[in-house]
Structure 1
Amino acid sequence: MPHHNSIRPEDVLPDGVDSTSINGKIVRKGTIAAFLANVAIFEKQDSTEKQKQEAMKTMKELAPGVIAIGLHQHVVFKNREIEQILIDAES
């Protein structure tokens, strides 16, 4: 993948491919979308405590993939608990 050109989703994962190795980690397509969806569940006022706990658990599971993709090099989450998940996954 050349780094001097723009990159489209199909350049990262061609049609029919569900995962790829990025920085030594197998990352499944949808990882970032799932992480962000769980951020929304965690921060939503009407989410139950159980829903928030499940979202937190899933974000922790997804964090190594999020780090491998490099999102955390460019994005800082306003929610300190979520930011800490990614900081912990980096170390």
Structure 2
Amino acid sequence: MKAEDVLPDNINSANFGGMQIRKGTIAAFLSNAMSFSNPASSSEQRQQAQDMIIEALPALKALHVFDVLTITDTNLRAVIDQHMANAGTGSATASIA
């Protein structure tokens, strides 16, 4: 499957798992995860990245991101697991079986 098979160029969002999710959600998460995990990031940059990651968690869960990807950064995984547990939506430690 190609990206345009999921969302064609003229479509910017779609319904996945009952949620309207914007194109670019996963790319934004990956960018924020890299910023959060980068030792050169300031504490302000890390906090901003963390806030955006937390905000995106319902969409990432609806897209089943954590059903196929494992977060290897232990600090980021702890943040995600804590917020997903608080929301009752599982954890970021699932991996491909």
The TM-score by the shorter chain falls in which range?
Answer: 0.7 to 0.9
Alignment correspondent of 1:3: none
Q: CA deviation at 1:70?
A: 1.1
Amino-acid identity (%)? 33
Distance in 1 (alpha carbons) for counterparts of 2:77 and 2:62: 15
Alignment correspondent of 2:63: 69
Distance in 2 (alpha carbons) for counterparts of 1:65 and 1:81: 21
Alignment correspondent of 1:50: 44
Alignment correspondent of 1:14: 8
Q: CA deviation at 1:75?
A: 0.7
CA distances 1:12-70 after superposition (whole Å, capped 9, x unpaired) = 10121100000101110110010010011011111100000000000001111111111
**Structure 1: which 5+ runs fail to align?**
1-6
- Which shifted more, 77-86 or 57-66? 77-86
Aligned length: 85
Runs of 4+ in 1 over 6 A off after TM superposition: none
**Structure 2: which 5+ runs fail to align?**
91-97
- RMSD, aligned α-carbons: 1.6
